[in-house]
Homo-oligomer: A and B are copies of this chain.
Amino acid sequence: MLFGALEAGGTKMVCAVGRADGTIIDQISIPTRTPEETIPEIIAYFKRKDIKALGIGAFGPVNVNKGTKQYGYILDTPKLAWKYFDLLGTIQKELNIPIGLDTDVNGSCLGELTFGSAKGLNNVVYITIGTGVGVGIAVNGKLVHGMLHPEAGHILLRKEEQDDFEGNCPYHKCCLEGLAAGPAIERRYGKKAVELKDKKEVWELESDYIAQAIMTYILTVSPQRIILGGGVMHQEQLFSLIRKKVLNLLAGYIKTPELESMDTYIVPSVLNDNQGIMGCIQLAVEELKELGKL
């Protein structure tokens, strides 16, 4: 049985077909333009495939609350062409198959829970640090939905003393994204992160901010594991710095077996940047299960 997966991002739409075990057997990428241009291409791709259900991981904000009127709509996004666009409904009308939906980062978190670094766990935080910072969270085995969905890339941080960069989040200046996403690094140092690999102070500061955020996530949702992905985290030297700094910040306040083994507590993804699309496959699988069709 085949499943469709759509990772709907702000710059590209990744469409794939795969199996319930996470195997991806076909994949294309379509640039994200307006819905009028992009959606027909997506529909045409999936119509040619014999898929039984589709899973969508969408850029946010997106309404993920089933049973509400705007379920599946993109909400108040700065990408104006997509503002209040009925993403799920428009695709469902054409494909006429069950569709599961969540945020892109919750999708990645589900990918990790099902196939990756968090297999078998119930409480997990997945953080992607790239052009922005996205955070997917699972609690008691379920992806977190509430009033909306987690937007924890925007939590406020303390500016480190040595940092005179003002922060570049247009909403909050010095939130995690404003201080630690790729564009913040680039503006602070005038070079791309990848060109700064050997500059020790860059990764000291970057790991300070990421550790601050992780401390907050630990104290709030008590994850059993934290998975870091995204372009910035390809700088592997970050992991040991982050692990050390998280323990320093917690200062012994919480004692658990997990925190005694930081190398398995704060980890990279093992899915080769496929966690998002594999999570979408799982969203499709879970939707079919929920309908009693699997």
Judge whether A270 is part of the interface by a CB distance below 8 angstroms. no
Contact of A220 among B158, B220, B224 (CB under 8 A): B220
Judge whether A172 is part of the interface by a CB distance below 8 angstroms. yes
Given A154-B253, A155-B216, A212-B156, also A222-B147 (CB < 8 A): yes
Complex formed: what's the CA distance from A258 to B223 in Å? 27
**B148 in contact with A256 (CB, 8 Å):** yes
Judge whether A45 is part of the interface by a CB distance below 8 angstroms. no
The oligomer's copy count stands at: 2
Residues of B within 8 A of A75 (CB): 255
**B255 in contact with A172 (CB, 8 Å):** no
Contact of A155 among B145, B219, B223 (CB under 8 A): B219
Looking at chain A's contact residues, is the secondary structure mostly helix, strand, loop, or mixed?
loop
**B253 in contact with A144 (CB, 8 Å):** no
Judge whether A1 is part of the interface by a CB distance below 8 angstroms. no
**A219 in contact with B76 (CB, 8 Å):** no
Judge whether A249 is part of the interface by a CB distance below 8 angstroms. yes
**B223 in contact with A146 (CB, 8 Å):** yes
Q: Interface stretch among A2-10, A85-93, A135-143?
A: A135-143
A139 to chain B, nearest CB (A): 4
Complex: chain B residue closest to A223, CB-CB: B146
Judge whether A111 is part of the interface by a CB distance below 8 angstroms. no
**A145 in contact with B140 (CB, 8 Å):** yes
Complex formed: what's the CA distance from A171 to B253 in Å? 6
Complex formed: what's the CA distance from A151 to B222 in Å? 8
Residues of B within 8 A of A259 (CB): 147
Q: Mark A136-177, 1 if CB is under 8 A from B, else 0.
A: 010110101111111110111111000000000001100000
Please list 14 pairs of residues, one from A and one from B, whose beta carbons are closer than 8 Å in the complex, sorted by A's number.
A61-B254, A75-B255, A123-B144, A139-B146, A139-B221, A140-B140, A145-B222, A146-B221, A146-B222, A147-B259, A149-B222, A150-B221, A155-B215, A220-B221
Given contacts A158-B158, A216-B216, 6 further A-B pairs with CB under 8 A are: A61-B254, A147-B256, A151-B254, A152-B219, A154-B219, A156-B212
User: Nearest 3 pairs between A and B by C-beta?
Assistant: A146-B222, A123-B146, A171-B253
